[in-house]
Homo-oligomer: A and B are copies of this chain.
């Protein structure tokens, strides 16, 4: 099963994470189990309650997590509290340095921003709370209208469901368009392939 090309996707969980921010991308990665191994990581191992209630088990703590090739950082109401969690921010710094890609969904980009990982880089976030997220990283080149933004190893996506589109685009980049298209068909998902597609920036009067 585990070919030398299989990448480990490190899903970072924290209290009150947003469900679809995590499980949309994991559904897409999960369509190619020969290529992506999914692991869950939190400050402490064990159950982590989502913003919506259901709890997901973190297999690893920050101290014993294996090498993570792709980081997945969700948003959610819990983001606000984690902005002042030095353990989480230093874990993101250390692991982004060693990762091939560091991705986020929704307000997850506020955590990368606070950790300084987006300074001087282009990035996006949830459109409903965009102004607040932007305040967390004054040196970031925030892009208001985008489904997702890639700058070097940092890939940040817009709110909630945007994580699915970002992940399919990353799968296309790493494993080829045919496998990404197949994953989208298996998910019966109408994939937005254009990173610039973003009606929600207009709805929230950001542009």
Binding site for B on A (CB under 8 A): 11, 18-20, 22-24, 26-27, 29-30, 33, 38-40, 47, 51-57, 126-128, 158-162, 164, 185-190, 192, 199-200, 203
User: With contacts A54-B56, A161-B189 known, what are 12 further pairs, Cβ within 8 A?
Assistant: A18-B27, A19-B27, A29-B52, A38-B54, A39-B53, A47-B57, A56-B56, A127-B188, A158-B188, A159-B188, A185-B200, A190-B190
Is the Cβ of A190 less than 8 Å from the Cβ of B188?
A: no
- The A contact surface, by secondary structure, is mixed
Is the Cβ of B27 less than 8 Å from the Cβ of A53?
A: no
Residue with the greatest number of chain B CB neighbours at <10 A, chosen from A24, A27, A128, A186: A27
* Nearest B residue (CB) for A158: B188
How far is it, in angstroms, between the C-alpha of A192 and the C-alpha of B190 when the chains are bound? Answer: 10
Is the Cβ of B185 less than 8 Å from the Cβ of A160?
A: no
Is the Cβ of B19 less than 8 Å from the Cβ of A20?
A: no
* Nearest B residue (CB) for A163: B188
How far is it, in angstroms, between the C-alpha of A190 and the C-alpha of B190 when the chains are bound? Answer: 9
How far is it, in angstroms, between the C-alpha of A151 and the C-alpha of B143 when the chains are bound? Answer: 45
Contacts of A30 in B (CB 8 A): 19, 51-53
Contacts of A187 in B (CB 8 A): 20, 159-161
Is the Cβ of A26 less than 8 Å from the Cβ of B52?
A: yes
